[in-house]
Protein backbone atom coordinates (compact mmCIF):
# COMPACT_ATOMS: atom_id res chain seq x y z
CA UNK A 1 0.00 0.00 0.00
CA UNK A 2 2.77 2.46 0.88
CA UNK A 3 4.53 1.60 -2.41
CA UNK A 4 1.62 2.76 -4.56
CA UNK A 5 1.23 5.89 -2.45
CA UNK A 6 4.93 6.59 -2.91
CA UNK A 7 4.69 6.26 -6.72
CA UNK A 8 1.89 8.82 -6.84
CA UNK A 9 3.76 11.24 -4.59
CA UNK A 10 6.99 10.81 -6.55
CA UNK A 11 5.39 11.55 -9.93
CA UNK A 12 6.74 14.84 -11.22
CA UNK A 13 5.22 17.25 -13.70
CA UNK A 14 7.47 18.03 -16.65
CA UNK A 15 8.16 21.72 -17.23
CA UNK A 16 10.18 23.05 -20.15
CA UNK A 17 11.82 26.47 -19.94
CA UNK A 18 12.48 28.01 -23.37
CA UNK A 19 14.83 30.94 -23.21
CA UNK A 20 16.43 33.48 -25.49
CA UNK A 21 18.90 34.70 -22.86
CA UNK A 22 20.70 31.95 -20.90
CA UNK A 23 20.60 33.98 -17.68
CA UNK A 24 16.79 34.05 -17.89
CA UNK A 25 16.61 30.30 -18.49
CA UNK A 26 18.98 29.51 -15.63
CA UNK A 27 17.10 31.80 -13.22
CA UNK A 28 13.65 30.42 -14.01
CA UNK A 29 14.95 26.84 -13.95
CA UNK A 30 16.56 27.39 -10.54
CA UNK A 31 13.31 28.83 -9.18
CA UNK A 32 11.26 25.90 -10.52
CA UNK A 33 13.74 23.20 -9.49
CA UNK A 34 13.28 24.31 -5.88
CA UNK A 35 9.75 22.89 -6.17
CA UNK A 36 9.96 19.14 -5.49
CA UNK A 37 7.17 17.98 -7.81
CA UNK A 38 8.51 19.68 -10.97
CA UNK A 39 11.01 18.14 -13.39
CA UNK A 40 12.56 21.07 -15.28
CA UNK A 41 14.33 21.06 -18.66
CA UNK A 42 15.91 24.18 -20.23
CA UNK A 43 16.05 24.69 -23.99
CA UNK A 44 17.19 27.54 -26.17
CA UNK A 45 14.05 28.89 -27.89
CA UNK A 46 15.95 29.79 -31.06
CA UNK A 47 17.63 26.40 -31.42
CA UNK A 48 16.44 24.55 -34.51
CA UNK A 49 15.94 21.30 -32.56
CA UNK A 50 13.72 22.88 -29.86
CA UNK A 51 10.38 21.85 -31.42
CA UNK A 52 11.48 18.21 -31.84
CA UNK A 53 12.90 18.09 -28.33
CA UNK A 54 9.61 19.46 -26.94
CA UNK A 55 7.63 16.82 -28.84
CA UNK A 56 9.73 14.06 -27.26
CA UNK A 57 9.65 15.65 -23.81
CA UNK A 58 5.85 16.19 -23.85
CA UNK A 59 5.95 18.80 -21.06
CA UNK A 60 2.91 19.49 -18.91
CA UNK A 61 3.85 23.18 -18.90
CA UNK A 62 6.14 25.41 -20.93
CA UNK A 63 7.64 28.65 -19.62
CA UNK A 64 8.76 30.78 -22.56
CA UNK A 65 10.85 33.93 -22.50
CA UNK A 66 9.58 36.46 -24.97
CA UNK A 67 7.74 39.66 -25.56
CA UNK A 68 4.23 39.85 -26.94
CA UNK A 69 5.41 41.09 -30.34
CA UNK A 70 7.85 38.30 -31.12
CA UNK A 71 7.07 35.26 -33.23
CA UNK A 72 8.89 32.70 -31.08
CA UNK A 73 5.69 31.29 -29.61
CA UNK A 74 4.19 30.51 -33.01
CA UNK A 75 7.41 29.16 -34.51
CA UNK A 76 8.49 26.90 -31.65
CA UNK A 77 5.14 25.69 -30.32
CA UNK A 78 2.98 25.38 -33.44
CA UNK A 79 2.82 21.57 -33.66
CA UNK A 80 2.72 20.63 -29.97
CA UNK A 81 -0.22 18.99 -28.23
CA UNK A 82 -2.20 21.29 -25.90
CA UNK A 83 -0.29 22.24 -22.77
CA UNK A 84 -0.10 25.06 -20.25
CA UNK A 85 2.05 27.78 -21.81
CA UNK A 86 3.36 30.71 -19.81
CA UNK A 87 5.16 33.47 -21.68
CA UNK A 88 7.21 35.68 -19.37
CA UNK A 89 8.15 39.11 -20.70
CA UNK A 90 10.88 40.32 -18.33
CA UNK A 91 11.06 43.79 -19.87
CA UNK A 92 7.33 44.33 -19.26
CA UNK A 93 7.23 42.55 -15.86
CA UNK A 94 4.20 40.56 -17.04
CA UNK A 95 3.42 37.00 -18.03
CA UNK A 96 0.72 35.70 -20.35
CA UNK A 97 -0.84 32.34 -19.57
CA UNK A 98 -2.27 30.33 -22.47
CA UNK A 99 -4.58 27.69 -21.04
CA UNK A 100 -7.73 26.07 -22.37
CA UNK A 101 -7.88 28.51 -25.29
CA UNK A 102 -7.79 31.49 -22.94
CA UNK A 103 -5.11 34.11 -22.46
CA UNK A 104 -4.70 35.47 -18.94
CA UNK A 105 -2.20 38.14 -17.90
CA UNK A 106 -0.53 37.81 -14.52
CA UNK A 107 2.50 38.95 -12.58
CA UNK A 108 5.74 36.92 -12.75
CA UNK A 109 5.82 36.44 -8.97
CA UNK A 110 2.88 34.04 -9.37
CA UNK A 111 4.77 31.68 -11.73
CA UNK A 112 4.93 28.63 -9.46
CA UNK A 113 1.30 28.91 -8.31
CA UNK A 114 0.23 29.37 -11.93
CA UNK A 115 1.99 26.16 -12.97
CA UNK A 116 0.48 24.20 -10.09
CA UNK A 117 -3.01 25.61 -10.71
CA UNK A 118 -2.82 24.97 -14.45
CA UNK A 119 -1.59 21.41 -13.97
CA UNK A 120 -4.49 20.57 -11.62
CA UNK A 121 -7.10 21.38 -14.25
CA UNK A 122 -7.20 19.23 -17.40
CA UNK A 123 -5.85 20.73 -20.61
CA UNK A 124 -8.00 20.27 -23.71
Question: Is the residue at 2 inside a domain?
Answer: no
Question: Is the residue at 25 inside a domain?
Answer: yes
Structural domains in the chain (count): 1
User: Residue 50's domain is classified under what CATH number?
Assistant: 3.40.50.2300
The string of pLDDT tens digits covering residues 49-108 is 888 888 888 898 999 887 555 565 566 666 777 788 888 877 777 777 777 656 667 766
pLDDT of residue 14: 93
Question: Is the residue at 4 inside a domain?
Answer: no
Question: Is the residue at 5 inside a domain?
Answer: no
Residues 111 and 35: their CA atoms lie apart, in Å, by 12
**CA nearest 22: which of 41, 43, 38?**
43
Residues 4 and 20: their CA atoms lie apart, in Å, by 40
Residues 96 and 87: their CA atoms lie apart, in Å, by 5
DSSP letter at 48 equals T
User: Rounded to a whole number, what is the distance in angstroms from the first to the last CA of the chain?
Assistant: 32
What is the extent of the structural domain holding 77?
10-120
Q: What is the pTM of this model?
A: 0.74
Amino acid sequence: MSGSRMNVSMRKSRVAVLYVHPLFGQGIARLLRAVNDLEVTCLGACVAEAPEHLKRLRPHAIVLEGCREDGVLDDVLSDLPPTLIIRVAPEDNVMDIYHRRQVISARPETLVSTIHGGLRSPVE
